[in-house]
């Protein structure tokens, strides 16, 4: 098979380009200018053997398998697993990180980039760190104010803040050792939601913002001093030299010279990274394009490197060794940022060092991690945008269903992906990979208005709805302009939205078993958000948290449910396991977010108990989890909107277009209560009075609703307000005629 790789040979080290101005270099604030001669407190990540007691990276060790070699908790006794301790955390935004554990201390992170240390035996809080971000950056997130974890090297803990600063903290007390500004342009839509990663003496960090106008890159900093050592851009900034590094000259040939360079083009690295110390290769997964439609951003086509790609980089100099592009010419938000697993598999009668990934596009990839050679790729979910991956070229073979630029198309998977950020797990004992899978297509179409670039605003410029009732689906205004689902779905996969935990054999590329995780929401968007990240253990177990509030333990070989713990909190992060004092624990963070209101509907634990975060630990012979009081909601089902109808039909139509571009990514207008992002059709009278000030002055910035004065003027805000009032009355009228109209007890930002 011919590998789809790029072997880049350079005669010089790839450093930060001399073309970068002082405004584009990192600001580093050194709190401690001496480089200490530190002893490594934790066992090194380059030790091939997993360290049973500790949990040193998000995925446990350098293999990132989310696998624990501990077996005190096993199939025979897991029914005795119960509550050990918990600690309450300070945010109601989602918690997506998996904690680390080193020498009896748990280290975690949360929304905005908060970090904390906890005694792993008792749950006693040792210290907390708040980066005190600029709240305006909360406006620039696409998918929730979240953080996916910390990294640790020797005596230093690293965490990235939402507003772009990378912090090195003393792991003993949380004091700041140094701080670096990682953003090259603070006026664009950059944020950081991902975890830093360690490679040798470097800490690597990426960023998010491809739905806005970010140009993707990663930056490597010296772990001791915060000095910027190199930066690697994932897409070119121009079709013409000078390029920041030679790999971009190769990439530029895969873009139309008339591409929308001013939009940044995306390719952000917002999650997946791994490091193989033996091969000395850093693996990086890149994200989607900006804008989404390829015929808009690069009209003459091209693969658009290095979007939706797996990159292998030499951390000593920042040079690309090989690349594999999972989705050439990405058109569907099919990121390759999902977690990597490094493993050794027996393939064709010999051991192969492989990298495995289940990216959003629906194919499970097994690559030779030394060369980038494609070993195999098969669909692990319903796929109709491509028929298969060509084994010779490594490229997907697209179908006629893939292109929506000229007419609406029902495409599988949808933009949420067949697998998103929730970590999968590989168990070397069973030989299976456990994947939280989302079965859901989406109907894609192009907006009627032409594209206009907004600096720092949303620039994805495509529209999609899901195949489900509701405002994100078949009851939306957009749905009324499209052919019916019966027409669009003719001859296509089953459109029923569902979630699964699938056990996948990576050698044979076949399904071993599956268990549905849809909860009570088969056919509804919550079906694919209910299943969280996965942990597997040498005790023959698989653990997964659910949005409905249960931590579930399954048999790793058969998928049989062996035990469920009612946690009383919605979960999406992957659990981890560690041991202290001869006792094995299972621990995880609770709290959901990023689902545009779908996280807080009846049936979700966050709806019943609220969404304030917790870290919870479990052990054998533990007790019941203490739950928060249930939230009481006022019944305002017959209450009319707080203000009368107003505005012209033209003003309402203008407001709808503004809402779809600037607001709908967060405010989905879904009837979700609890701690969710509010449905703006349910605003109180006081909020209506303050509407212009909230939007244009940022009076609720501290609560996540930033200032939009750089994107909207007063007339536009008035049109937006009129549209929301009209929507409130439409909903009320429909409720009076055939259903109840629900409103939350309190008005939230």
Distance CA 212, CA 454 (A): 8
Token duo for residue 722: 């009129």
3-state secondary structure of 321: strand
3-state secondary structure of 597: coil
Distance CA 214, CA 216 (A): 6
Distance CA 671, CA 684 (A): 15
CA distances from 377 to 326, 333, 356, 510 (A): 10, 19, 10, 11
Q: What angle do CA 315, 316, 320 make, to 5 degrees?
A: 55
Token duo for residue 422: 């929730």
Phi-psi region of 689 (alpha: psi -120 to 50; beta: other; left: phi over 0): alpha
Q: Are 283 and 315 in contact (CB under 8 A)?
A: no
DSSP assignment string, 245-269:
STHHHHHHTTS-TTS-GGG--B---
Nearest to 316 by CA among 230, 187, 249: 230
- Which stretches does DSSP call E strand in 51-113? 67-68, 81-88, 100-102, 105-110
Provide CB contacts within 8 A for 712, sequence distance 6+: 658, 662, 695, 696, 720
Q: What phi and psi values does residue 501 have, to the nearest 5 degrees? A: -105, 115
Token duo for residue 628: 């928060």
Q: Are 334 and 308 in contact (CB under 8 A)?
A: yes
Token duo for residue 265: 């083009």
Per 3-state DSSP, the chain is made up of helix, strand and coil in percentages (nearest 5) of 15, 30, 55
Q: Are 738 and 635 in contact (CB under 8 A)?
A: no
Q: Are 274 and 342 in contact (CB under 8 A)?
A: yes
CA distances from 138 to 191, 249, 584, 672 (A): 8, 34, 38, 20
Q: Are 564 and 550 in contact (CB under 8 A)?
A: yes
Is residue 733 part of the annotated active site? The answer reads no
Token duo for residue 330: 């990405």
Catalytic residue among 333, 599, 671, 679: 333
Provide CB contacts within 8 A for 198, sequence distance 6+: 45, 57, 151, 152, 153, 158, 204, 223, 275
Distance CA 33, CA 39 (A): 18
Longest Cα–Cα distance of the chain, Å, equals 74
CA distances from 428 to 51, 69, 433, 540, 557 (A): 15, 10, 9, 11, 12
Give the residue numbers annotated as catalytic, written as ranges: 333
């Amino acid at each position: 098979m011919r590998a789809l790789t790029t072997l880049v040979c350079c005669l010089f080290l790839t450093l930060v380009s001399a073309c970068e101005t002082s405004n584009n270099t990192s600001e580093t604030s050194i709190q401690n200018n001496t480089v200490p001669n530190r002893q490594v407190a934790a066992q090194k990540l380059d030790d091939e053997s997993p360290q049973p007691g500790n949990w040193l990276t998000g995925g446990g060790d350098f293999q990132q398998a989310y696998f624990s070699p501990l077996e005190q908790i096993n199939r025979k006794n897991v029914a005795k697993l119960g509550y050990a301790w918990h600690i309450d955390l300070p945010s109601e935004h989602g918690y997506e990180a998996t904690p680390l554990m080193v020498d009896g201390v748990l280290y975690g992170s949360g929304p905005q980039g908060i970090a904390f240390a906890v005694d792993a035996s008792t749950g006693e809080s040792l210290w907390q760190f708040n980066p005190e971000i600029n709240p305006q950056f909360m406006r620039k997130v696409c998918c929730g104010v979240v953080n996916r974890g910390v990294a640790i090297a020797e005596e230093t803990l690293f965490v990235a803040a939402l507003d772009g600063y990378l912090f090195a903290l003393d792991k003993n007390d949380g004091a700041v050792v140094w701080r670096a500004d990682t953003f090259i342009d603070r006026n664009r839509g950059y944020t950081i939601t991902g975890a830093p990663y360690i490679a040798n003496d470097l800490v690597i960090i990426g960023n998010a913002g491809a739905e806005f106008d970010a140009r993707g890159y990663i930056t490597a900093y010296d772990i001791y001093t915060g000095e910027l050592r190199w930066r690697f851009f994932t897409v070119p900034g121009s079709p013409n030299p000078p390029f920041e590094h030679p790999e971009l000259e190769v990439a530029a040939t895969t873009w139309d010279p008339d591409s929308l360079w001013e939009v940044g083009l995306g390719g952000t690295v917002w999650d997946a990274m791994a490091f193989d110390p033996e091969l000395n290769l850093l693996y990086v997964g890149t994200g989607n394009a900006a804008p989404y439609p390829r015929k808009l951003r690069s009209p003459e086509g091209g693969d658009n490197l290095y979007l939706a790609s797996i990159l292998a980089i030499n951390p000593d100099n920042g040079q690309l060794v090989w690349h594999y592009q999972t989705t050439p010419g990405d058109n569907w938000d099919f990121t390759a940022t999902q977690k990597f697993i490094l493993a050794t598999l027996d393939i064709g009668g010999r051991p192969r060092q492989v990298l495995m990934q289940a990216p959003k596009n629906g194919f499970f990839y097994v690559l030779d991690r030394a060369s980038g050679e494609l070993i195999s790729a098969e669909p692990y979910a319903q796929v109709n945008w491509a028929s298969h991956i060509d084994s010779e070229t490594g490229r997907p073979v697209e179908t006629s269903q893939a292109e929506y630029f000229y007419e609406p198309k029902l495409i599988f998977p949808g933009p949420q992906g067949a697998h998103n950020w929730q970590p999968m797990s590989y168990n070397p004992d069973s030989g299976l990979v456990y994947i939280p899978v989302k079965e859901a297509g989406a109907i894609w179409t192009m907006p009627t208005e032409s594209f206009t670039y907004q600096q720092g605003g949303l620039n994805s410029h495509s529209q999609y709805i899901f195949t489900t009732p509701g405002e994100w689906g078949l009851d939306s205004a957009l749905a009324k302009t499209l052919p019916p689902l019966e027409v669009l779905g003719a001859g296509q996969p089953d459109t029923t939205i569902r979630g699964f935990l699938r056990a996948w054999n990576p050698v044979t590329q076949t399904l071993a078993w599956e268990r549905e995780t849809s909860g009570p929401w088969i056919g509804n968007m919550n079906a694919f958000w209910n299943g969280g990240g996965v942990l597997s253990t040498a005790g023959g177990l698989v653990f997964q948290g659910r949005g409905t509030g249960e931590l579930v333990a399954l048999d790793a070989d058969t998928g049989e449910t062996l035990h469920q713990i009612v946690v009383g909190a919605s979960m999406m992060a992957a659990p981890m396991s560690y041991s202290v004092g001869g006792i094995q624990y299972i621990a995880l963070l609770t709290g959901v977010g990023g689902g545009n209101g779908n996280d807080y509907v009846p049936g979700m634990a966050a709806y019943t108990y609220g969404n304030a975060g917790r870290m919870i630990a479990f052990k054998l012979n533990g007790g019941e989890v203490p739950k928060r009081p249930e939230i009481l909601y006022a019944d305002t089902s017959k209450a009319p909107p707080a203000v009368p109808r107003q505005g012209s039909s033209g003003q309402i139509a203008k407001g709808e277009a503004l809402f779809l571009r600037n607001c709908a990514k967060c405010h989905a207008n879904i009837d979700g209560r609890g701690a969710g992002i509010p449905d703006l059709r349910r605003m109180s009278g006081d909020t209506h009075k303050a509407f212009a000030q909230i939007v244009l002055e940022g009076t609720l910035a501290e609560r996540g609703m930033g200032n939009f004065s750089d994107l909207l003027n007063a007339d536009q805000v008035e049109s937006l307000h009129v549209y929301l009032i009209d929507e409130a009355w439409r909903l009320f009228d429909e409720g009076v005629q055939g259903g109840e109209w629900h409103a939350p007890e309190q008005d939230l930002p």
